[in-house]
Structure 1
Amino acid sequence: MKQLNELEKNAPIAITGATGMQGAYLCRALNDAGFKNITALKRRNSDTTLPDSLNAKVQWTEGDLTEVESLYKLTENKAFVFHCAAYVSFNPSRKREIFRANVNGTADLVNACIENGVQKLIHCSSVAAMGRPVAKQSEVGENVEWNRSKSAGAYALSKYHSEMEVWRGHAEGLPVAIVNPSVILGGGFWHRGSARLHLTMDKGIPFYPMGSGGFVDVRDVARLMILLMDPSFDGERYICSAENQTYRHVLTRISGLLGKNPPSRPIRNWMINTLPAALNIARKLGLKAPKLTSDMLKASSEKVLYNNKKSLGIPGFEYRPLEQTLMELTAVYLEAKEKSAPFGLLKP
């Protein structure tokens, strides 16, 4: 197997989703690994604060996953394509937009990669796209067959179908590798994605989901994606998850690091459909309350264990301990809070 430093560092690379948290950290990691010839796709009015603040050295090209011509332009004369862009939403009313971006957009990107002769597509998927084991307490591995669980909403279904488009591309001759991250923890805008966990716990929210799942550092996801540029990793998917933990444990630990009281009230099944409506009313009354949807609560009520042995079998790859990530992330959050900064960034 080729070592990373043996790869052609001038190889032209294209990235989707570079303005988001995962894509921005990937840009920095690629730069740190010596890759400089990077082109990233962004919408005309996209906020490039995260990649700019991470000193990501990329050339921007305007376009969108829903604009086919821009995808062909992005992938033209490119050796590697990293697909990090996705419409992330747990709002059922957004199903059409979710599928248009995640499924149709991925299909068009795959077609563009094939027609432009891209050497390899590395697709950032999600554990949401994976099946669930039939037997309780058994782990989810890369070979678990898809079976739509009751908690799988539009986002999970779209990620599954987007993976099917990647596998279709592989069947048509496109070299691919798929990464399936669990909950990605990283510094970014505190009101977006998983970064909201710190903002929410800082408000002293008393509720916690009763489920469990996997957690992984954003920097480790970026590192794994770069290692998968190696041509020997073709036609494979990899669960990217550092540790399995209950949501209560993670939220309690964040609360402790913030000096706040831990959440003490479980979100029981009967609350899944009623709590979002109650919190919405509270917000309309001017009270501070997090935005939750039924799909989000259903997903966090599942008890799932993820097997990460396959990813750990890649030479040179290991995970940061969850505790280390939480401590570093909390320090970044508190520093940003002191400065009234809307975002914070983890160091390499």
Structure 2
Amino acid sequence: MKTAITGGCGYVGLNLVRTLLDAGHEVLALDRVQSPHLDSRAQWQEQDIFDAPSLQTALEGVDVVFHLVAKISLAQEDAATWHVNVEGAKVVAEAALMAGVRRMVHVSSIASFDMYQSRGRTMNESMPRSVDPGLHVYARSKYAGECEVMKVAARGLEVVVCYPTGVFGPQDFGSPMPHLNGNMVDSARGRLPVMVEGGFDLVDVRDVAQGLLLAAEHGRNGENYLLGGEFVSMIDACRRAAQLVGERGPRFMLPMKVLKGIAAVVGPLARLFGREAGSFSEVALATIETSGPIDHSKAARELGYQPRPTDETLRDLLDFCIERGILQAGDKGRLDDGAGRRA
């Protein structure tokens, strides 16, 4: 099978490239910049997804295209985020249709579900979607982009939509690392004395990549699949990461009420200086406050999706960081394999 990946040199993209190649598929990675970590077995092409004629040419002869390109923002409104996540998804779908691509696997986000309406319940694919104008732009744009893709699907393109949850794990060459990985590594360094209240459904990036391949092979046309892992409190995840290298991890958990008080000050100050408040933004806190368990049984049942245990991912992430010199093993040796032995 000949495949193409938009955003093939990003975190999920690089892992998907390797997964597809190992499964015997041909891979064309499309991105604006080539990663030095791109698997040498893959082809690479510089590509702007808004250059429709060039994109259509690149997709000719491709069986399946995986659309990963997206812009993440914690702002309430951001024109660039809307443009990339909505218009960009539409352009890719139309180019795929015109090029004769058989199937598009559209990678959306758990944020495209309205977490407020689903709060207190285990989330599945039938939950309410992010259409409320009061929701932040990333949530609204991811669902709006999905709607644009499905309009193209009505004209003949096969489409399967997948929603990864909180992605973390090894093979992360970002600088700085994404938020979840960064927290785990900082905890293992002993640099994270406190952690926020709340948790996420965490999923290994390699399991997400495998889930996307399974969606391409076995997903039903027009269907959507949650690619989740295990719901874990953030303080527990960070402590488990720290304990693997002999550290204690965060000592205290900041209650949401305190965090919201901080956000009420930090948010306006950040906006005053034209910046985002990051972890202390109202949006970031609302995301962690409303996050809950995810039901990925549909993906398990229809695709054969089976995510690995969280502790296995934590060990592999920290081993990866030690190998790259990001994290020093010190006198602790290699990571404990979970049975009291050094891996």
Aligned pair partner of 1:120 in 103, 120, 131:
103
> Comparing 200-209 with 144-153, which one deviates more in the overlay?
144-153
Unaligned runs of 5+ in 1: 1-10, 282-289, 341-348
Query: What does 1:248-263 correspond to in 2, within 5 Å?
Result: 248-258=235-245, 259-263=247-251
Give SS of 1:50's match.
coil
**Pairing of 1:1-348 with structure 2 (within 5 A):** 11-36=1-26, 38-43=27-32, 46-51=33-38, 55-92=39-76, 95-132=78-115, 134=117, 136-147=119-130, 152-187=135-170, 188=172, 189=174, 191-193=176-178, 194-201=180-187, 202=189, 204-230=191-217, 233-258=220-245, 259-272=247-260, 274-275=262-263, 292-314=280-302, 316-337=304-325
Deviation, 1:165, is 1.6
Aligned partners of 2:72 and 2:258: how far apart in 1? 25
Q: Give me the whole-angstrom Cα distance separating, in 2, the residues matched to 1:298 and 1:70.
A: 40
Structure-2 change in CA distance of 1:150 and 1:165 (3 Å): closer
C-alpha deviation, 1:277, in angstroms: 6.3
Matching residue's letter, 2:71: Y
Cα-to-partner distance string for 1:182-217 (whole Å, 9 max, x where unaligned): 001122125132322234323523332322221111
User: CA distance change for structure 1 residues 150 and 197 in 2, over 3 Å: closer, same or farther?
Assistant: farther
Tell me the matched-pair count. Answer: 316
**Identity percentage of aligned residues:** 25
Q: How far apart are residue 150 of structure 1 and its match?
A: 9.5
Structure 1 residue 158, shift from structure 2 partner: 1.4
> Compared with structure 1, are the counterparts of its residues 96 and 199 closer, same or farther at alpha carbon in structure 2 (3 Å cutoff)?
farther
CA shift, 1:39, in A, is 1.6
CA distance in 2, matches of 1:280, 1:200: 27
Q: Which amino acid aligns with 1:35?
A: H
How many angstroms does 1:276 deviate by? 9.1
Cα pair distance change 1:135/1:149, threshold 3 Å: same
Secondary structure at the aligned position of 1:334 is classed as: helix
Deviations 1:59-79 (A, max 9, x none): 222222333333223222221
Name the counterpart of 1:343: none
SS in 1 for 2:61: coil
Cα distance in 2 for residues equivalent to 1:210 and 1:220: 26
Structure 2 CA distance for partners of 1:91 and 1:49, relative to 1, 3 Å: farther
Cα distance, 1:200–1:66 mapped onto 2, change above 3 Å: farther
Structure 1 range deviating more: 206-215 or 168-177? 206-215
Label 1:120 to 1:270 Cα distance change in 2 as closer, same or farther (>3 A). Answer: same
Aligned partner letter, 2:262: T
The CA distance in 1 between the partners of 2:268 and 2:250, in whole Å, is 23
Alignment partners' CA distance in 2, 1:228 and 1:133: 28
In structure 2, list runs of 5 or more residues that go unmatched: 270-277, 329-343
1:177–1:236: 8 Å Cα contact kept in structure 2? yes
Contact 1:216/1:322, CA 8 A, preserved across alignment: yes
Distance 1:278-1:131 versus aligned 2 partners, 3 A rule? closer
Instruction: Check conservation: 2:115, 2:291, Cα contact below 8 A.
Output: no
TM-score by length of 1: 0.81
Measure how far apart 1:299 and its partner are. 1.2
Distance in 1 separating the partners of 2:113 and 2:195: 24
The letter of the residue matching 1:64 is D
Query: CA RMSD, aligned part only?
Result: 2.9
Aligned mates of 1:279, 1:263 — CA distance in 2: 26
Distance in 2, matches of 1:34 and 1:280, equals 51
| 8 Å Cα contact 1:31/1:56 also seen in 2 | no
Preserved CA contact (<8 Å) 1:39 1:61 = yes
8 Å contact kept, 1:15–1:81? yes
Cα deviation for residue 246 of structure 1 reads: 1.7
Give the drift of 1:132.
3.5
Give 3-state SS (helix, strand or coil) of 1:191's partner.
coil
Is the CA contact (8 Å cut-off) linking 2:130 and 2:140 kept in structure 1? no
Change in 2 beyond 3 A, CA 1:311/1:56: farther
SS of alignment partner, residue 141 of structure 1 = coil
